[in-house]
């Protein structure tokens, strides 16, 4: 079967409009606020601008006000949105909302779509995905899940601690992963629940100080204490949470890659512009061999990452598992984006270290991506296991 990476005309045209919108309307706001959205008012203003430009919610289905792009279509649009740290938030494709929209479209009941998906896709509310726990709980190893959901009259009682829950501050609801069978360390036995933020059993804790600050709503600790929900809060099927989570995790890893690839391109553009203007040792910086090598390596990393992302997206669009392709693309892109931003900062010298350009902010923002969505080491382990399994067979 031929693999076609050419975006369809709708996606290509939407990517062009997204690029214009980001450069003309989003980057000035980003530069004013050092890449961090300061308030709900600014978030809504950015999203109003995206609606006016006709680029809002490219991932959501048409019935929810979006453009219904497949994964390959998302790749070209999300990359353009990611050219600014605030572009994804403006288009309502930032984590974790983008991944939650994708998952809810696939597995939510009709009633759950009306109650949760429709307002989320419209940007009326935000959400969070509560799976990660403090050690020794679920993290890189989801089977270590310790949060429990116990059957009670009329539904379930959820108890447990979560941490590093992105976007929890101000979220309208959480998708919570809790153990409904087995014990920590056993495979399976997890269920996803929809929990409204005003549920008295869901308690929002502290903001965790982190390198990155641009993901709106922060990274928080969240505790569930006797948190009661009805049977209608179950998302998917009981004890099948991990299977359903794969609907979200593979695509979400790729959309992270798409967005951060946009920042890598932005860093390369800043560095290239500086290299052709800066005069050192009697010539342009861009004419010196070491600088040329760095610019070339940046371009190689960007193009290689894009190719791996598109390959994984094509596999996902075909309905294939794509576990190997997703792990390869995520690992390479996370490390390539870091290399590109780091080289770009180095090329810009003191300007790169200063706050006069945002390369320092970019560096802080992209570094955690080698840990988020599975550390590089975990993905390498998974890749190696597949390679060894193939060799054994």
Per-residue pLDDT at 4 exceeds 80: no
Looking at residue 2, its pLDDT comes to 64
Per-residue pLDDT at 302 exceeds 60: yes
Place of tokens 């360390």: 185
pLDDT in tens, 305-336: 999 999 999 999 999 989 999 999 999 999 99
pLDDT in tens, 149-184: 999 999 999 999 999 999 999 999 999 999 999 999
Tell me the pLDDT of the chain averaged across its residues: 96
> Residue 300 contacts by C-beta under 8 Å, 6 or more apart in sequence?
none
Confidence of residue 195 (pLDDT cuts 50, 70, 90): very high
**Mean pLDDT, rounded, for 243-269:** 95
Percentage of the chain surpassing pLDDT 70?
A: 99
Closest CA to 272 of 359, 338, 204: 359
Q: What is the C-alpha to C-alpha distance for residues 180 and 244, in angstroms, rounded to an integer?
A: 15
Looking at residue 245, its pLDDT comes to 85
Note the CATH architecture for domain 242-392. Answer: Up-down Bundle (1.20)
Looking at residue 321, its pLDDT comes to 86
Closest CA to 317 of 74, 40, 12, 63: 74
pLDDT in tens, 351-392: 999 999 999 999 999 999 999 999 999 999 999 999 999 999
Confidence of residue 219 (pLDDT cuts 50, 70, 90): very high
Domain locations along the chain: 9-94, 127-235, 242-392
Domain 127-235 belongs in CATH node 3.40.190.10 = no
Place of tokens 């070209």: 76
Choosing among 3.40.718.10, 3.40.50.2300, 1.10.540.10, 1.10.10.10, the CATH entry for 9-94 is 1.10.540.10
Distances from the Cα of 196 to the Cαs of 193, 203, 230, in angstroms?
10, 11, 11
């Amino acid at each position: 079967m031929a693999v076609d990476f050419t975006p369809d005309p709708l996606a290509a045209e939407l990517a062009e409009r997204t690029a214009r919108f980001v450069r003309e309307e989003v980057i000035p706001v980003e530069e004013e606020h050092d890449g961090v959205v300061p308030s709900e008012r600014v978030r809504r203003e950015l999203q109003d601008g995206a609606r006016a430009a006709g680029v809002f919610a490219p991932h959501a289905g048409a019935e929810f006000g979006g453009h219904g792009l497949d994964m390959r279509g998302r790749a070209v649009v999300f990359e353009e949105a990611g050219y600014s740290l605030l572009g994804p938030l403006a288009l309502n494709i930032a984590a974790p909302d983008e991944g939650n929209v994708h998952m809810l479209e696939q597995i939510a009941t009709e009633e759950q779509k009306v109650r949760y998906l429709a307002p989320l896709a419209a940007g009326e509310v935000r959400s969070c995905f509560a799976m990660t726990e403090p050690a020794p709980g679920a993290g890189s190893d989801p089977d270590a899940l310790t949060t429990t959901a116990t059957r009670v009259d009329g539904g379930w009682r959820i108890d447990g601690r979560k941490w590093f829950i992105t976007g929890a501050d101000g979220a309208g609801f959480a998708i919570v992963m809790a153990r409904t069978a087995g014990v920590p360390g056993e495979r399976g036995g997890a269920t996803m629940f929809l929990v409204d933020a005003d549920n008295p059993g869901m308690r929002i804790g502290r903001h965790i100080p982190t390198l990155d600050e641009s993901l709106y709503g922060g990274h928080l600790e969240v505790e569930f204490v006797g948190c009661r929900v009805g049977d209608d809060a179950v998302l998917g099927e009981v004890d099948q949470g991990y299977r359903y989570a794969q609907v979200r995790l593979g695509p979400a890893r790729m959309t992270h890659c798409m967005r951060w690839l946009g920042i890598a391109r932005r860093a390369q553009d800043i560095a290239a512009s500086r290299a052709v203007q800066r005069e050192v040792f009697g010539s342009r910086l861009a004419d010196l061999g070491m600088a040329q090598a760095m610019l070339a390596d940046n371009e190689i990393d960007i193009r290689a990452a894009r190719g791996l992302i598109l390959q994984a997206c094509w596999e996902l669009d075909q309905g294939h598992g794509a576990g190997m392709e997703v792990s390869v693309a995520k690992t390479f892109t996370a490390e390539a984006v870091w290399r590109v931003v780091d080289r770009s900062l180095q090329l810009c010298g003191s300007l790169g270290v200063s706050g006069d350009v945002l390369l320092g902010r970019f560096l802080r923002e992209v570094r955690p991506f080698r840990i988020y969505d599975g550390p590089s080491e975990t993905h390498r382990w998974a890749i190696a296991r597949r390679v060894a399994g193939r060799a054994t067979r």
